[in-house]
Homo-oligomer: A and B are copies of this chain.
Amino acid sequence: MADSDQTLRVRPATLAKREQILKAAVEIFGNKGSTNGTLADVAEQVGITHAGVLHHFGSKQKLLLEVLAYRDQTDVAELAEKHIPDGPELFLHLVRTAFANEKRPGIVQAYTVLSAESVTDDHPARGFFEDRYTTLRREVAAAFHELCEQEGVREPATVAAASAAILAVMDGLQLQWLLHPGVVELGEASEFAIQAIVNAVLHPGPTLPTYTHPA
């Protein structure tokens, strides 16, 4: 056990191969979905057989979960500091992310497809996305909290809805952008919508003209 404080498999070439497989899997699962994309598809992209992929990841499900974790990890790594910014800075970070995403349709597609797939029966990634949205909503709500304090606004009851809505609009725009890349401007539209929602929290405007609540 001299050097085994790391994982047992420590050869650098091996780690490189694993990463190669993960990148291929992002693309395949993005292009075909995780049910429809096959291990053979992934394997082919890195020049091995599907059994070779299984050698590294054990099962298709384990590969999928590692793919999701891998993307989040590389996302965070892009930030200078190793964590997502707190407070009002978060809104800027989200807008920047939307602009940045225009340059990586593969990853956007993977997340769009897999997150929707995750609501199906017994999907292996369901827990991952549940945790993800819970965490993100909490972070956005915290940013609203700080922003309200900073602006001297009493924190309104709309923060919960606004937090969900900001994540929602980003996801929804990604879908439309994937369907009509030339028509929908991902970054621009995200920026507009996030601004609109932030402003609505800070300075509530008039409600829709003639609408009254049901029940």
Residues of A whose CB lies within 8 Å of any CB of B are 31-33, 35-36, 88, 91-92, 95-96, 99, 109, 112-113, 115-121, 126, 129-130, 133-134, 137, 158, 160-162, 164-165, 167-173, 175-176, 178-180, 183-185, 188-200, 203, 205-211, 214
Looking at chain A's contact residues, is the secondary structure mostly helix, strand, loop, or mixed? helix
- One complex includes copies of this chain to the number of 2
CB distance from A103 to the nearest CB of B (A): 11
Say yes or no: A130 contacts B32, CB within 8 Å: no
> A133 to chain B: which residues have CB within 8 Å?
176, 179-180
Which residue on chain B has the smallest CB distance to residue A187? B214
B214 contacts A96, C-beta separation under 8 Å? yes
Contact (Cβ within 8 A) A164 B179 = no
Point out the residue from B115, B120, B194, B207 that lies within 8 Å of A208, measured CB to CB. B194
Instruction: Please state if A197 and B199 are interface contacts (CB–CB under 8 Å).
Output: no
Chain B CB count within 10 A is highest, among A35, A129, A170, A175, for: A175
Q: Would A175 and B95 count as touching, CB distance under 8 A?
A: no
> Which B residues lie within 8 Å of A115 (CB)?
116, 175
A91 touches B208 (CB 8 A): yes
Please list 10 pairs of residues, one from A and one from B, whose beta carbons are closer than 8 Å in the complex, sorted by A's number: A88-B209, A91-B208, A109-B119, A116-B175, A133-B176, A164-B184, A165-B173, A193-B197, A195-B205, A199-B199
> In the assembled complex, which residues on chain B have CB atoms less than 8 Å from the CB atom of A199?
196, 199-200, 205-206
